[in-house]
Amino acid sequence: MGGAGASIAVTMSERLDYFGSTVNRTARLQNESEAGEIVLSRTVLEGLSVAALLEGHELAEDTRDLRGFDAPGTFWRLTAPLPEI
């Protein structure tokens, strides 16, 4: 799933947890994915190694209101091809 950026890491009760708007946005993007899809944020999509991996694949841009954020979020969907039966 597709988010990258700053976050706060905290260990509570011997468990590592992450907080921050990057974590929240990534969770919201995860909720937007359908079966067989990968949802990518702009930050992840523009990463050099990711761009090279996605070369030749079709991506669909989508924009939705994301709970907890003032502005709509734009993301890209990469859908796996359906297997032949």
Q: What is the pTM of this model?
A: 0.66
Q: Tokens 């946005």 correspond to what residue?
A: 25
| 46-56 per-position pLDDT tens digit | 887 887 888 88
**Around 2, how many Cα atoms within 13 Å sit in the side-chain half-sphere?**
21
Structural domains of the chain, with CATH: 8-79 (3.30.70.1230)
Nearest to 37, CA basis, from 64, 9, 77, 68: 77
Q: What is the pLDDT of residue 10?
A: 84
List, for residues 19-55, the tens digit of each pLDDT value: 777 778 878 888 888 888 888 888 888 887 887 888 8
Burial 49-77 (b: 16+ CB within 10 A, else e): eeeeebeeeeeeeeeeebeeeeeebebbb
